[in-house]
Structure 1
Amino acid sequence: MKTKNITRAVLMIMFITTVSGCKRFLDEDLKSQLAPTNTFTSTYGFEVGTAGLYALTRSEYNTFGEEGAFLHNGATPYEVLQAATDIVEVINSDASLTAFAQLTLTPDERFVASYWNWAYGLISSANEVLIFADKNNNWDKPTDKARFQAEARFFRAYAYRTLTYLYGDVPYVETILYDFKLDFTRTPKAEVLAHIVDDLKFATENLPESPDQVKDGKLTKWAAFHLLSEMYLMQGDFAAAEQAALAVINSGYYGLMKTRYGAAKDKPGDVFSDLFIENNQNRLKNGNRESIWVLQFDFNTVGGGVNSDDWTRRAWSPKYAEIAGFVLADSLGGRGLAQIVPMKWWIGTNGTNATGNVPGIFDATDIRNSNYNIKRNWYYNNVNDASLYGKKSNITEQTWFSTKSLFPALTKFFYGRIENLSLTGSYRDRMKFRLAETYLLLAEAYLGQGNPSKAADAVNEVRRRAGAQVIGAEAMTMDFLLDERIRELVGEESRRFTLIRTKKLVERVKTYNTGLKDKIRDFHALWPIPQAIIDANRDAEFPQNPGYGK
C-alpha cells in the first residue's frame, strides 16, 4: 500500500504524540484537521491513519532519513541482524556495524537504541489506532472497526516480536501514555509472547481473507497466521505452530512459484531469480502467488522508496567499480558497498586462485546456486579499457576479504538504474513473508514435535522447486534446516532471530564464525537495554541484561 503526503503528516502526529507521552504537547496546538481526534473519526480517517503503521514498519529499513518517519542515522542498520552469526563476515565496514560484528556492544550503541525506539514508536502508534477505534462509531461497514483493530494489533505484535528477540524482557504497554512515566518495569518475555499471540490470533480472525481483494502490500489473515506460527515456535508450542503454518499452506491462495514469470520470464534466468526481479514481488501486479506480505518500496512511485530506504543491495554487493576495468552497471547491481560479505563455508568457491576449494552447501542441481542467483564469474565491463574489456576478473582472498571488491554475490540484491547507477536505496518491493519460509517454519514445528519425517516432507517442498535432491528423515536435523534457510532465505531473514529462536546462536557461531568462536558467550543472545532508557526510568528498578554492566 502506497502512503500519500497526508499519511506522512498523520504518521508524524501519531509518532510524536504517542512517543513523547507529553500531555502539554497535546494541549498546545493540535486542532488542525490532521490531529488524531479529528482524523480518527471515520473509515476514511482510519485508512489514512493505519497507512502510517505501514510506513513506520517500512522505516525499519530507513537509514539517514529523507522523508522517512524514523531515523537510524547510520548505514544498513538491519544488517546488525546478520552480523555475528554464521553467514557473513563484517570486515572494515561502516562504523555503526563494528560493535555488533565484534561483540563489543555497549548500552550506548546507536542501533541498540534506535531499534528500541523504532519498535516502541510502532507500538505507540498501533495503540493510538486501537484507542480511537474504540471511541469511534462512524464506520462505513460493520466490520471496519475490527479490521482496523486487527491491522493495529498485527503491527503491535510485529514490534514486540523484535523487542523480545533483541532484549528479552521488555515493558508491555497497550495504551496511550499522555504523561511522562518514570517507573516502567520489565515484563517477562513469556508474558509478552502471550500478548503477541493474542494479538495475532485476533488478526487472523479479522483481517481480510482474500489476497486478491486487497491492495498490494496490505495485510491479510494469512500474514498473521505466518507470523503466528513463528511466535508459537518461540513459545515452544510446536503443535500450534504446525497448525498456523498449515493454515497458510492449505488456504488455497498461495503456492510456490515453479514456472518462469514476470518481467524477465523470456530472458535468461530461472524461477528463483524471477522472484527478485524488480516488479515481480507483488501478487496483483504480476501474479506472484508465493508472496504473503510485501513491503512497498518501488521506484518513482508516490509513497514508494527513497534513497535512504533499504540499503540491502549496498550491504551485500561487492565494490567492483573500484577495480580498474569495471564501471558501475545495472546488470551488476549498481553501486555496492560490501558492508558484509558471505562466508566461504556455505556459499562455496570456484576452487581456483587464492580462494581455495570449498564446496559450499548446495547440491549441483540446486538452482539457488546457479549463476543467475549467485554471481561467481565477473568480467571487466569498461568498453573504454580495450586491454581488459570482456576478460574475466578473478576472485581472490584479497578481493573477497580485504578490499571487498569482488566475491560471490547474491543477485537477489542486485539493483541498478541506468539513469542513476549510484542510487543508494533499493527501490524494489521487499518480500517480508513468502510461502517458502512458511514451509520451513512448518518443518521447524515438526522437528520440535520429534517428527523428522514430516519435517523432511515440508523441506522437500522447497527443495523440489529448487531442483535440489529430496532428503529423508535420517538427514532432517535442525542444522540441516538452518542450512536450508540459508539456501532459500539468506539475506531475507533476520538470521539472528532464527538462531535465537532455535537456540543455536552460540553453537553455530562457534562452528562457523572463526573470528568470534572464542569470543561469543551465552549472554550475547540478547542486546543490552539502551542506557538512556535505564537512566530515564528513575522511579523503579530497570535492570540491565547480564553481561553489559549494571
Structure 2
Amino acid sequence: MKVYRYIIMVGILFLAGACDEDILDETPLDFLSPENSFTTPEDIEAALFLNYDNIRNFYDGKYFTTGHLHSATDLAMSSRGTAIPLLEDYTIDLNPTSFFVANYWNAMYSIIFNTNVILGRLDGIDYDSEDERTRHKAEASFFRGYAYRCLVNLYGGVPIVLDEISSPKRDFVRDTKEATVAQAISDLEFAAENLPNVSEIPSQDEGRLVNAAALHTLAELYITSGDLDKSIAAASAVIDDPNISLMTTRFGNRATDDGDPYWDLFQRNNQNRASGNTEGIYVIQTETNVPGGSTVENFTAGLSYERNYGPLYFVLKDPDGEDIFLGPTTQAGGRPVGFIRPTPYFTHTIWGNGNFDVDVRNHERNIQRDWMVDNPGSAYFGQNISDLPQSWFDGLSAQDTLRDFFPNVTKITTKNDHPADAILDATTGELSPLAGKTHTDWYLMRVAETYLLRAEAYLAQGNTGLAAADINMLRNRAGAIPVAEGDVDIDYILDERLRELNWEEQRRMTLSRLNLLFERTVMANPTAGPTIQPFNNLFPIPFREIETNTETVLEQNPGYN
C-alpha cells in the first residue's frame, strides 16, 4: 500500500507541476468540436446555413410547429378539437409543460447559441476578404437579433446570452423586456449597416439576408421600444429603396392566367426576384425533391401549409351519400387534412362594409369557398357545392364544418400546378397519398407588411392621415374601398394585416407584442375566446428551463405558477 501511495503522490506532484495552460488547452483531432469545426470561412458559411434552416423549420407550416403561432388567436382555431395536441383551450393546453412552449424556446436559443459560436470564433479565422468577414458577422447578428425579437414577443424578458457556452450553466437569470428588446435592436442595427442591398444579391444566392430584412424587423422593434421616429425611418428606408416595391402588375409564372398581382405573389417560382418580384424581403427557400428541401414521399420534410391549413374536402358526401370528389386533386386545392382552420372573423367579418365582392384578396381564386363536384358517380357531377340543396348544408355535422368544409386560403397550395411527382393520375389530377406540401418558397417578410408597420408607427404618433395613406397602398392594389383617415385605429390595422398577410404572419407574436391577444381572441375566436385569460398574452417559461436552472431562480411569468 505504501508503494501505491508513493506512486500516487509522485503522479499528483507531476500533474501539479505540469499544469501549464498550453498543455491543458487540448485541441481535439479525431472528432468534431468548435475548436476544429470553425477554421475557415466555409465553416462559418455552413454554420450560418444552419440558422437559415432553423428559421425555415420554425415556419414550416406544420400544426405542431407554426400552428401554435396562429391557432387560438383571432386568425385561426383548431379544426379537430382535442384529437390533436393543438392549442385551443387555454386552461388545458397552455402551461409550462406544453411541448410547443419548450419547442419555440429551444428553437430560438439554438439559433442564439449557434450564432454566439460563430461570432466568438469568426475573428480568429483567416479571410481573404474583410468584406466577407463583415457580411458573415452581419448575417449572424441578424439571426441573433431576430431570435431575441421572437423570444421577447412570446415570453417577455428572457436571459440574454452573448457568448459561447462551453460548459454546463445552471444560473440563468431573466433580463427585462426592455433589455431584451434593446439587445435585439443592437444586433439588427449592426446587420442593417453591414448586410448587402437586395440589388447586390446574385440570382444563385436568392433567399440570403439583405439589409432590408434587418430594417423591416427594426421598424417593428422600434415601435415596441417607443422610438417611433426611428421606426418610421427604418420602414421608409425599405419602402423608398428603388429595388423594392409592391407588385401592382401581373408577373411571373401563370401571368397570363385569370388572376391578379396579389394572386401572382403566391404561384410557384414567383417569390424570388428572378420572377420579376420586387416585393419579397426575406423569402424562405425550398425546392421539391432536392436534398435539404421538400420531398413528396415524406410529408414531414419541407413546408406543409397545404396539408395542415386546408380543409379535408375530399371526404364530403353528396345528398345521396355518394362521394363528391374523386379524391384529392391539384385542381381542387391539393391534399390537405384539416388540422387548422380560419376563424369566421377572418373568413367573413373583416370583409364587410362593401368589400366582400371587390377586394381581390377575398376573390375565389385567393380564398376558395366553393368546389365543383368531380365524381362522375354522383348525380350532382359538374355542379358547384354552392348549388346543392339547402338541406345538404343544414345536414352538415360539426366535423364537416370545422374540418372538412371551410374557406381555403389558396396561397398555401399550388392549384393546377403541383409537381409531377406529387400527381398520382395526370388524367384526373388526383394526388399521391403522401402529397400535401406547399411547393412554393414562403415569405417571411415582404414590403406590404413594411407599409403596415409604418402605418402603425404613424398611428402611434397620432398621424392618422399618413397611416391611412400607407394602408391604402395595399387596399388600392387589392381594389378595395380606401380607408378614411378617421377610421384608422389599431384594430383596423390588425384587420388589414389579416386581409393581407393571414398565414404569412406570426399572428400570436403580433398580438402579444401589442398586448392585444386576450382582447382580440375573446372577440374573434369562438373556441379559444371563452378560455383565454389576460395573462395568456405571454407564454409561460418552459418548466424544464426553470427546474434545471438549479443555481438561481429563473422567474416564471405571472399566472403560470
TM interval, shorter chain, is 0.7 to 0.9
* 1:480 alignment partner, one of 492, 500, 522: 492
Does residue 364 of structure 1 match 2:361? no
Deviates more, 1:530-539 or 1:305-314: 305-314
Letter in 1 for 2:478: A
One-letter amino acid of the structure 2 residue matched with residue 542 of structure 1 = L
Within the candidate set 185, 203, 217, 1:197 is matched to: 185
Q: Which residue of 2 aligns with 1:312?
A: 305
Residues 351 and 362 of structure 2 are in contact (CA less than 8 Å); yes or no, is this contact kept in structure 1?
A: no
1:162-217 CA deviation, whole Å, 9 max, x = no partner? Answer: 11111112111011111101111111111011010000000011111234524111
Deviation, structure 1 residue 106: 1.7
Between the aligned partners of 1:436 and 1:401, the Cα distance in structure 2 is 36
1:55-134 equivalences under 5 Å are 55-61=53-59, 75-93=63-81, 95=83, 97-104=85-92, 105-134=94-123
Deviation at 1:62, TM superposition (A): 5.1
Residue pairs, 1:193-232, within 5 angstroms: 193-214=181-202, 215-232=205-222
Residue 144 of structure 1: which of 111, 117, 132 is its match?
132
SS at match of 1:432: strand
Question: What is the match of residue 257 of structure 1?
Answer: 247
Q: Secondary structure at the match of 1:58?
A: helix
Superposed, which structure 2 residues align to 1:454-465 within 5 Å? 454-465=466-477
Q: Which residue of 2 aligns with 1:343?
A: 343
Aligned to 1:157: 145
2: CA distance between counterparts of 1:90 and 1:313?
A: 15
Distance 1:142 1:517, change over 3 A: closer
Deviates further, 100-109 or 452-461: 100-109
SS in structure 2 of the partner of residue 111 of structure 1: helix
Structure 1 residue 381 displacement after superposition: 1.9
Seen in structure 2, the aligned counterparts of structure 1 residues 153 and 129 have a Cα distance that, compared at 3 Å, is: same
Q: Could you list the per-position Cα deviations for residues 323-373 of structure 1 after superposition, in whole angstroms to 9, with x for gaps in the alignment?
A: 212111112232112212222233229xxxxxxx99588453211011110
Summarize deviations over 1:33-59 as a string: whole Å, max 9, x none: x65434433333322232122112212
The letter for the 1-side match of 2:340 is I
Report the CA distance shift for 1:533/1:27 in structure 2 as closer, same or farther (over 3 A). Answer: farther
Q: Secondary structure at the match of 1:341?
A: strand
Name which of 528, 537, 545 aligns with 2:549: 537
- Residue 279 of structure 2 is matched in structure 1 by 290
Worse overlay, 261-270 or 485-494: 261-270
Q: Distance in 2 between matches of 1:515 and 1:141?
A: 56
Letter in 2 for 1:402: Q
SS of the residue aligned with 1:223?
A: helix
Aligned to 2:421: 419
Paired amino acid for 2:303: D
Distance 1:474 1:268, change over 3 A: same
State the SS of the aligned residue for 2:532: coil
Query: C-alpha distance in 2, partners of 1:429/1:255?
Result: 19
Task: Identify the residue that residue 508 of structure 2 maps to in structure 1.
Answer: 496
Q: State yes or no: 1:53 paired with 2:43.
A: no
Q: Following TM superposition, by how much is the alpha carbon of 1:386 offset from its aligned partner in structure 2, in angstroms?
A: 5.0
Map Cα deviations across residues 63-103 of structure 1 (whole Å, 9 max, x no partner).
Answer: 8xxxxxxxxxx844211111121122213257554345544
Q: Whole-Å Cα distance in 2 between the matches of residues 84 and 361 of structure 1?
A: 28
Residues 396 and 407 of structure 1: CA distance in aligned 2, closer, same or farther (over 3 Å)? farther
1:377-392 correspondence to structure 2 within 5 Å: 377-383=370-376, 385=377, 387-392=379-384
In structure 2, distance between residues paired with 1:336 and 1:441: 32
Amino acid of the structure 2 residue aligned with 1:161: R
Assess if the C-alpha contact under 8 Å between 1:345 and 1:361 holds in 2: no
TM-score normalized by structure 2? 0.85
The letter for the 2-side match of 1:450 is: G
| One-letter code aligned to 2:217 | L
2:268 equivalent to 1:278: yes
Where 1:471 maps in the other structure, the secondary structure is coil
Partner AA of 1:412 in structure 2: K
Q: Which residue type is aligned with residue 431 of structure 1?
A: Y
Instruction: Give the Å deviation of 1:270.
Output: 1.3
Larger relative contact order (Cα-Cα within 8 Å, sequence gap ≥ 6): 2
Question: Mean alpha-carbon deviation: is it higher for 321-330 or for 397-406?
Answer: 397-406
Instruction: Determine which structure has more spread, i.e. the larger CA radius of gyration.
Output: 2
Q: Contact 1:345–1:359 (CA<8 Å) still a contact in 2?
A: no
1:210-252 deviations in Å (ceiling 9; x for gaps): 3452411100111100011111122222211111100100111
Matched with 1:402 is 399
Amino acid in structure 1 at the alignment position of 2:344: K
Match of 1:330 in 2: 330
Is residue 2:259 matched to residue 1:269?
A: yes
User: Are the counterparts in 1 of residues 116 and 164 from structure 2 also a CA contact under 8 Å?
Assistant: yes
Give the letter aligned to residue 263 of structure 2.
Answer: S
Amino acid at match of 2:107: W
1:444 aligns with 2:436: no
Cα displacement (A) at 1:389? 2.3
Q: Is the 8 A contact 1:341 1:400 kept in 2?
A: no
Q: Distance in 1 between matches of 2:456 and 2:356?
A: 21
How many percent identity over aligned positions? 36
- 1:107/1:531 contact within 8 Å kept: yes
1: CA distance, partners of 2:119 / 2:245: 33
How far apart, in 2, do the equivalents of 1:292 and 1:113 lie? Answer: 29
Give the Cα–Cα distance (whole angstroms) in 2 for the partners of residues 101 and 143 of structure 1: 51
Kindly tell me the number of residue pairs found equivalent between the two proteins. Answer: 503
Please give the per-residue CA displacement for 1:296-323, whole angstroms capped at 9, x wherever unaligned: 1121234323432322222221101112
Distance in 1 of aligned mates of 2:34 and 2:193: 26
8 Å contact 1:348–1:360 — kept in the other structure? no
Give the 3 Å change call, closer, same or farther, for CA 283–358 of structure 1 in structure 2.
Answer: closer
Q: Secondary structure of the residue that 2:100 maps to in structure 1?
A: helix
Q: Report the CA distance shift for 1:212/1:263 in structure 2 as closer, same or farther (over 3 A).
A: farther
Instruction: Report the 3-state secondary structure (helix = DSSP H, G, I; strand = E; otherwise coil) of the residue aligned with 1:277.
Output: coil
Query: Shift of the alpha carbon at 1:401?
Result: 4.7
How far, CA to CA, are the matches of 1:325 and 1:405 in structure 2?
A: 12
Give the SS at the match of 2:242: coil
* Higher mean displacement: 361-370 or 527-536: 361-370
CA 1:52 to 1:265, structure 2 compared with 1: closer, same or farther past 3 Å?
same
Corresponding residue of 1:20: none
Q: CA deviation at 1:489?
A: 0.4
Q: Counterpart of 1:150 in structure 2: which amino acid?
A: A
What is the DSSP-based 3-state SS (H/G/I as helix, E as strand, rest coil) of the residue aligned with 2:130?
A: coil
In 2, Cα distance between the equivalents of 1:159 and 1:52?
14
Residue number among 165, 177, 182 corresponding to 2:170 in the alignment: 182
